[in-house]
Amino acid sequence: MFRKSSSILMNKVLSALFALFLMSEIATAQVNFQPAPPLANPADTRYKGVLEDWTTPELKTSNLKTTAIVGYVSDYPGYTVQLNQVQWRSGDPLDLYIMKPKGVKKPPVILYLYSYNYDTDTFKNEAWQRAVTKDGFAAVGFVTALTGHRYHDRPMREWFISELQECLAVSAHDVQMVLNYLSTRSDFDMDRVGIFAEGSGASIAILASAADPRIKVVDAVDPWGDWPTWMATSPFVPQDERANYITPGYLKKVANLEPIEWLPRIQAKKFRLQDAIFEPTTPKLAKEKLRAAVPPGATVVVYNNLDEYRAAITGNKQMDWMHHALRSVPDVPTTTAAATARQQ
């Protein structure tokens, strides 16, 4: 579902700039996990046969099992691309793009989670693939709930903002279920997992990091948050729908998934907030609250204008911080997939 907005355009400009500078630098398997105990009070059972708690980013109160199908593997100079289809909800298959550098036995892995309404086009771009794998890192990309190929069989009135509680919770769960799947493969360094995320994806990365200690590094660019302020004043929200999103009932549903509340609880060893204060999607007041909620020891970078942002990402410099942070994570014993599944 496409929503016309100057804010969407600005989001695309920022992400397109990052992708542009990255470019310039440049069978079938099934896995089953032990389900969590049945929920006493599941938050939602929209997906047939699935009990999933939409009130929290944590998985311990949900019951999800994974099926994974390998679609294809493509070989390129210096790296490979594998497209998998993973699923833990009926009717919601997720295309998972896995890029691996050649010559690295167990590379650190970075998940890429872009903002609504980006589809998988970036993950298919060969220049982007070369850029994200050229320094010996694996890259895993997928889209959030009700986005791109995951938007189907729903009334047109239902979209990411109208169903924000669902999209935030489901996508935070997706991050952890993807990690569960990657842990079963034994070809990644699962002690060095990072997430690079933008916009709504950055909000989801914050929630997932607070719920899952396996995520060691988070780089969040312009996260959405402070839902009462965001819904009341963000230009991203269609004016003819805004009244629906400032009601007590709507705000109560999303209150448990407030990034400002979860930020102090993130479990990542390294966290960076990048704030392009000139980007209007998240209102100024909300941006200030998000910066204030960043935990001690984290890094905050503020870009006052587009030129400052452009200078920061030229030549793939934006990924230098993530790469350094992941390489500096101390060696610790790997948590087995079975143990992780039991913990979840």
Whether residue 273 lies inside any domain: the answer is yes
Q: How many CB atoms lie within 10 A of CB 62?
A: 25
Whether residue 326 lies inside any domain: the answer is yes
Alpha-helical segments (H) within the chain:
6-24, 121-124, 126-133, 164-183, 200-211, 227-233, 248-255, 259-262, 284-293, 306-313, 320-327, 337-343
The angle that helices 6-24 and 126-133 make with each other, rounded to 10 degrees, is 60
- The residues, ordered by sequence, that sit 6+ positions from 311 with a Cβ below 8 Å of its Cβ are none
Whether residue 27 lies inside any domain: the answer is yes
Domain count, the chain: 1
pLDDT of 300 = 97
Tell me the per-residue pLDDT of 167-179, one tens digit each, with 9 for 90 and over.
999 999 999 999 9
Whether residue 1 lies inside any domain: the answer is no
Give me the half-sphere count of Cα atoms (radius 13 Å) on the Cβ side of residue 169: 23
CATH, residue 245: 3.40.50.1820
One pLDDT digit (tens) per residue for the chain, 344 residues: 444 444 445 555 455 544 444 444 333 333 333 333 444 344 555 566 678 999 999 999 998 999 988 889 999 999 999 999 999 998 999 999 999 999 999 999 999 999 998 999 999 999 999 999 989 999 999 999 999 999 999 999 999 999 999 999 999 999 999 999 999 999 999 999 999 999 999 999 999 999 999 999 999 999 999 999 999 999 999 999 999 999 999 999 999 999 999 999 999 999 999 999 999 999 999 999 999 999 999 999 999 999 999 999 887 788 999 999 999 998 765 444 444 444 44
Amino acid 167 reads C
pTM: predicted TM-score of the whole model, two decimal places = 0.85
Domain range for 265: 6-343
Q: Which two tokens stand for residue 238?
A: 């269609």
For 87, phi and psi rounded to 5 degrees?
-155, 135
